[in-house]
Amino acid sequence: MPVQTVHLIILINILGVAGIVVWHLQGTSRPTARLIAQIIFFIAMTVTLVFARVMPFRFDTPHLDGSGYWMVSAKILWWTHLSWATIGLVRIYIVLDGRPREARLIQDLLVAIVYLGVVLSVMAFVFGVPIGTLLATSGVFAIILGLALQNTLGDVFSGVALTLGRPYTIGNWIVLSDGTEGRVVASNWRSTYLLTSAHNVVVLPNSVLAKQGLTNVSKPDENHQIMLGVRIVPTREPNEVFNVMLDALNSCREIAHEPPPSVSLVGIDAAAIDVQLCFRVSSPAQRGVARNEVIDSVYRHCVATGIELAKPAGSHTFQASYDQVPTMQAATDAGVARARGIIAVPPPPDVAREQLLQSIRSTFRGRVTR
């Protein structure tokens, strides 16, 4: 190898090491200056490679002397600076306005692809490793690893989908289709953490969360509607019942009055007038307190106006069926008595009771004699 080429290769190594030192000294607080310095060193190394007639995209069998080691290190440093310059561009220019989590996710994926490509390039163009055979072997290994980590990979890809779709964010209150609900306190690629109203943390794998339907109570805001059913005995006019229920809602302080609460008469029959109370609370955490206040207010207004609360639907049918149990039992006892040959009749008057007893005794004596 000519002496001039050796000197140029040594210069490439010096530039590469100097670029690494400057890259670390810049720090993460100055990404633009860091990128500019990285690009300057990368261009200087590329120009030096061109003058040295060294092709980083081609594998050359290194010499066994010291210059061969300088050549290997020069190529590795060049590929390293190429990856860092590319990553600097990715970090600065791939930005999604108002969506920092999605931008960070896309940046991380691109950085991983860049590092993987650089590692494969160094193996192929510096050390002469047959990439085709390596990829075939790694493909089989990836299949085995994928089967072994199927659940974990499912959680990771579900986390990516949830991050890009953004059905919820940190701080939102969500309700799942299985009844689980809580506020999202943390989320990563593996799982999501919910803080429930019982002050417990529920850890949900992202694969499970992605398969369930969820309701985001915090969007568009946390103003949450509650519906409460009331049954009134139909001894008053429906319009009077409507006004009393509306007054009961307006007297509550724990519920939101904008939009105002509403009352709906949803049904009427001989047993009750069905009333639906609709009101809102400022957050899901206030549902229990607001519901308690509304129930108390409805009861007090009913007592003050003489309105009577009706029994739950179906309770009259159940009571009637329960009252028939002794009659059914008596009918069963009578049937058993008939099967045994004994006639079950009501007690006769006192005058004929003795005659009936004598007749029964005579009947039994005749059967015993035969």
pLDDT tens readout for residues 178-210: 888 888 998 877 788 999 888 889 998 888 887
50 alpha-carbon distance from chain centroid: 55
Q: Report residue 169 as tokens.
A: 């964010």
How confident is the model over 274-324, as pLDDT tens digits? 999 999 998 887 888 999 999 999 999 999 999 999 988 776 554 444 444
For the domain spanning 167-216, the CATH number is: 2.30.30.60
Share of the chain above pLDDT 90, in %: 19
Residue 333: how many CB atoms within 10 A of its CB? 11
Residue 42: how many CB atoms within 10 A of its CB? 23
The domain defined by 224-305 folds into: Alpha-Beta Plaits (3.30.70)
3-state secondary structure 206-267: HHHHHHCCEEECCCCCCCEEEEEEEEECCCCCHHHHHHHHHHHHHCCCCCECCCCCEEEEEE
Q: How far apart are CA 230 and CA 32, in angstroms?
A: 65
Q: Pick from 307, 305, 304, 277: which is nearest to 293 by CA?
A: 277
Mean pLDDT over residues 165-190, rounded?
84
Residue ranges per structural domain of the chain: 3-146, 167-216, 224-305, 333-369
Mean pLDDT over residues 117-124, rounded?
86
Helix (H, G, I), strand (E, B) or coil at 114: helix
Helix (H, G, I), strand (E, B) or coil at 34: helix
Quick check: 126 and 55 in contact, CB under 8 A? Answer: no
Mean pLDDT over residues 145-163, rounded?
68
Note whether 167-216 and 224-305 share their fold: no
Q: How far apart are CA 302 and CA 25, in angstroms?
A: 77
**HSE-CB of 120 using CA atoms within 13 angstroms:** 13
Q: Report residue 275 as tokens.
A: 């009333």
pLDDT value for 68: 72
pLDDT value for 148: 61
